[in-house]
Structure 1
Amino acid sequence: MKLSTTILAATVLAAGSAMAEPVAPGDVQFDEYGAVAESLTGQPGDVENGAVVMKSKSVGNCISCHKVSALDDAPFHGEIGPPLDGVGDRWGEAEIRGIVANAKKTYPGTMMPAYFKVEGFTRPGDAYTGKAPEGPLDPLLTAQQIEDVVAFLVTLKEE
């Protein structure tokens, strides 16, 4: 009995750690409308970190294109993309995750960057050098940062 309990516990722990592995950008499963039902990390997103990612010019930089009233402490909100106030009422978590990961799966002609994509680019550049990058590309945001942004966005409800 003790051995069975130990084996069961080890199996559960192994399954849990396997679920905790982040999904690679090329392995993300989008549905026909661009939604991503499964978490990219198996871990819940951090709402506060999601807000930081969205307003940080060196990370997500979302507010350069979108107005987000909840982030009014950050200057210079953009008007290129739609305002994100109330987005948590308009979209479900899976749809928001898909749009943040790769909005082009939902809106093919969008100017929004694909934040969790590493291949299939037309002309990626190496920062501001004017040269093509060498080696494989990293996604603009990590899987956990995507989950953090999703966690923040689902909190944005109509008032």
Structure 2
Amino acid sequence: MRSRRWRAVTVAFAFSAIATVSAGALEPYEVVGDAIPRPLGGFRGEVARGDAIVRDRERGNCLICHQGADPAEPFQGSIGPPLTGTGTRLDAGQIRLRLVDASRLNPDTVMPPYFRTEGLHDVASQYRGKPALSAQEIEDVVAYLASLKTP
């Protein structure tokens, strides 16, 4: 009996490990394990633009929860992991999934989904149906965070 249940769980995981998501008008992406291996919309990220988005207190607002790579940046958070060394800990696909929708990995996360529009609550009317970041902006942030290696 126990082996049958284990086999059912294993089969269910195998089917859920690769999932193609079509997010309405958003660029579709494929989740493989704990990553989105291919860039959204085929865009190539730019490190400098990603750094600017991470520091931007309105657009990305990453530093409200994370400590950034620049200690001189004021008012940095401590809720999420520090951004320094992200590129050592995670590959680009893993970073991408965490930005797109970290709740796919941890349903209890406080990390907001930056590329999901459905199932959200308390969204101001002017932002409804729009992702927090565009596919290009996601790729820019991925490029920046992937560049943050620990020596």
TM bracket (short chain): 0.7 to 0.9
Please state if 1:80 is matched with 2:72: no
Q: Which 4+ runs in 1 deviate beyond 4 A?
A: none
**Distance (whole Å) between structure 1 residues aligned to residue 76 and residue 126 of structure 2:** 33
Provide the TM-score with structure 1 as the length reference: 0.73
2:26 alignment counterpart: 25
The amino acid of 1:145's aligned partner reads E
The amino acid of 1:105's aligned partner reads R
Which structure 1 residue ranges, 5 or more long, are not aligned?
Answer: 1-22, 127-132
* Aligned-partner SS, 1:29: strand
Provide the TM-score with structure 2 as the length reference: 0.77
1:67 alignment counterpart: 67
Q: How many equivalent residue pairs?
A: 128
Greater Rg over alpha carbons, structure: 1
Q: Conserved in 2, the CA contact under 8 Å of 1:28 and 1:36?
A: yes
2:105 alignment counterpart: 106
The amino acid of 2:48's aligned partner reads E
Equivalent of residue 143 in structure 1, options 119, 124, 135: 135
* Aligned-partner SS, 1:30: strand
Pairwise CA distance, 1:28: 2.4
More strand by share: 2
Equivalences for residues 35-50 of structure 1 within 5 A = 35-50=35-50
Q: Conserved in 1, the CA contact under 8 Å of 2:27 and 2:41?
A: no
Pairwise CA distance, 1:72: 3.2
CA deviation map 1:95-114 (0-9, x unaligned): 00110111111222110000
RMSD of aligned residue pairs (Cα, Å): 2.0
| % same residue | 37
